[in-house]
Amino acid sequence: MLVLGNNADVIGVNIYPFFDANSDPTNPIASLEGTWQAMTRAYPENKLRITETGWPTAGAPSVLAPQNIPNYTNAASYHLQFLLWMHSKGRVGDFWYNMYDSRPDEVLPIDAEYHFGILTHDRKVKGVPTRAPTPVPTPKPTPAITPAPTPSSTLNTTLEPTLAPTPAPTPAPTPAPTPVATPLSTREPNLTPTRVPTPNPTLDPTTAPTPAPTSGACGNIEENTDYTGNDIASTRRASADECCADCNANPNCKLFVWFHGTCYLKSTMGVKRTLRGGRAAILINSAPVPAPQVCGAIESNTAYTGNNLTSVAGATTGDCCKACEGEPSCNAFSLDSGVCYLKSGRSDTTKAAGVQSARVNKCSTIEIGIDYDGNDMASVAAGVVDDCCAICRNTKGCKAFSYEAGTCWLKSGKGTISVSPDSLSATVVM
């Protein structure tokens, strides 16, 4: 088997905790994880695929594992736990569930095998079965009390008989209302806990109240997106919008991924991948951004050719940088023999002994992994992101830029932001 596995491109693994005699019904994923780890010790993990799994929604328990109860609640719980487990492994789309239950006329060895489908055998959506309520019993009528007969007169029969007054009939007492029997609950009893454990290594979710953001907000939500790994905590939240405050409250959190009711807080961006239903966003620190270093790295024995604006006397590169800061159109300089040549930007260079040159940055600190959405004016090729600031400042109406793959995307404003691992962005500040 090992030889066959080593020569195969894909190895399918069918894992059913429902049939595992050692499976804990409150934590079936432990059985799944144990089987998976055993397989990864024997075969390369990149070859392995979960080809079958599931939990039946009805039927009788298996004689192999009678502690595992087949019902809708347990099936739904297992399905959600399984999806979270797949997410923790960074795996997408490599498993099979039965789409439909088996037909009643099929011959299967055990009853539960008819009920592993997502839908019923006749293509209907499954739901929690509901028992009919117990009808209210009809009270028996209480019979009216019959009054006692009136006794006959005891007077002498020779006298004129005086008739005793006929008493009014005693009314029948009103029967006390028979109490209505409380109907039995129509909800199927929960035979196993339904709380979904967060897959290892993600920390257990907390249901603490969402803290109010104090120093940051989050960028645009990226739909159907996951950033793998780097989990530092997780919280249970109804929507991705509630994850931002949790991330902001954790000093180590830089972004989050929301998936099936859980916010996965992350310390840094991992590999970006498609995850249907995943929603990701980066934390944007709204605290004051430290001033960028205005004078760039000095390039010794290098002259910037062209783009001249003016020249002033200067003994040091510091003098040239200060002079460039005061000249609105200046973005670079070259210092040669006590003269600062102020320039609109750095383009071509040439070797020149004793000449010192540098850019002068008049843009904000570069935001790494961030793209400014929309507001595009033009695109200009540039070898490094440092040149985008000068290009933007020299373009009328340009207030910001995003740089990616050798191109400066010039923008009329910063606008909204989104996570983009290969993008670098900044705004004009001078």
| pLDDT tens-place string over residues 329-370 | 999 999 999 999 999 999 889 999 999 999 998 998 888 878
246 contacts 235 by C-beta, under 8 angstroms: yes
Model pLDDT, residue 212: 39
Name residues whose C-beta falls within 8 Å of residue 31's C-beta, 6 or more positions apart in sequence: 15, 17, 20, 22, 23, 24
**For the domain that residue 326 is a member of, what is the CATH number?**
3.50.4.10
| Number of folded domains that form the chain | 4
Q: Does residue 176 surpass a pLDDT of 50?
A: no
Please state, for a pLDDT cut of 70, what percent of the chain lies above it: 74
For residue 263, what pLDDT band results from cuts at 50, 70 and 90?
very high
Residue 43 in any domain: the answer is yes
pLDDT, residue 192, reads 39
Residue spans of beta strands (DSSP E) within 247-375: 255-259, 262-266, 272-285, 299-304, 308-313, 332-336, 339-343, 349-359, 367-372
Shared domain for 236 and 318, answered yes or no, is no
- Residue 291 in any domain: the answer is no
Q: Are residues 344 and 383 in the same domain?
A: no
The model carries a pTM of 0.40
Q: How confident is the model at residue 135 (pLDDT cuts 50, 70, 90)?
A: low
- Asked whether residue 294 is assigned to any structural domain, the reply reads no
Residue 281 falls within a domain, yes or no? yes
Average pLDDT, the chain: 77
Q: Do 325 and 387 fall into the same domain? A: no
Q: What contacts 24+ positions apart, CB below 8 Å, involve 137-140?
A: 137/178, 137/181, 139/175, 139/177, 139/178, 140/178
pLDDT band at 9 (very low <50, low <70, confident <90, very high): confident
> In which domain, by residue range, is 233 found?
216-285
- Establish if 155 belongs to a structural domain: no
Q: What is the pLDDT of residue 246?
A: 92
The least confident of 116-130, 131-145, 286-300, 323-337 is 131-145
Are 50 and 75 in a shared domain?
Answer: yes
User: Tens digit of pLDDT for each residue in 18-35?
Assistant: 989 888 888 888 888 889
